């Protein structure tokens, strides 16, 4: 998607603080962190959100969660705790319409529901 900000970050057309990348996903620091640690894990494939997912994407979504847990271990928040969030459409406040998963941690997050 030529006008998608996360596609541009994946293609290195827009700079980011990248913390992980492989053939399927990238992970970079959120520009407006909502916790001490706030990283976005993003598939290179442009999916709008989880509703855009097809059966063939099951492995990709599993890989995203594997990468998120690997990053959490490596940066040292697996023991203290972290939260994975994916906002889906308007009621959830999704503003970037390229599927992404927030990793939030590094401080106590409290419950939000
Ligand atoms: P959403 O509300 O769609 O779930 O989250 C989008 C996230 O993307 C927000 O937390 C926002 O701060 C982050 N974001 C938007 N534009 C950029 C950008 O250009 N660079 C980075 N690193 N994060 C961005
Ligand atoms: Zn995109």
How many structural domains does the chain have? 1
Active site residue 100: yes
Residue 46 lies in a domain: yes
Residue 110 lies in a domain: no
pLDDT of the residue at 113: 67
Which ligand 1 atom sits nearest the alpha carbon of residue 14?
A: 19
Task: Indicate the pTM of the whole model.
Answer: 0.97
Strand partners, 6: none
Q: Quote the CA–CA distance of 1 and 74 in Å, as a whole number.
A: 31
The CATH number that applies at residue 14 is: 3.30.428.10
Q: What's the CA-to-centroid distance between 111 and ligand 2, angstroms?
A: 30
**Which of 9, 87, 15, 12 minimizes the C-alpha distance to 48?**
87
Q: What are the average pLDDT values for consecutive 10-residue runs of the chain, which has 113 residues? A: 93 98 98 98 98 97 98 98 97 97 96 76
Give the domain range for residue 30.
Answer: 5-105
């Amino acid at each position: 998607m030529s006008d998608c900000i996360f596609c541009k970050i994946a293609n290195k057309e827009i700079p980011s603080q990248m913390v992980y990348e492989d053939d399927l996903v990238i992970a970079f620091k959120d520009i407006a962190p909502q916790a001490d640690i706030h990283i976005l894990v993003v598939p290179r494939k442009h999916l709008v959100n989880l509703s855009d997912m097809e059966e063939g994407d099951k492995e990709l979504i599993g890989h995203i969660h594997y990468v998120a847990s690997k990053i959490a271990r490596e940066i040292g928040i697996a023991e203290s705790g972290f939260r994975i969030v994916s906002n889906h459409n308007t009621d959830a406040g999704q503003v970037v319409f390229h599927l992404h998963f927030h990793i939030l941690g590094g401080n106590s997050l409290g419950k939000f529901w």
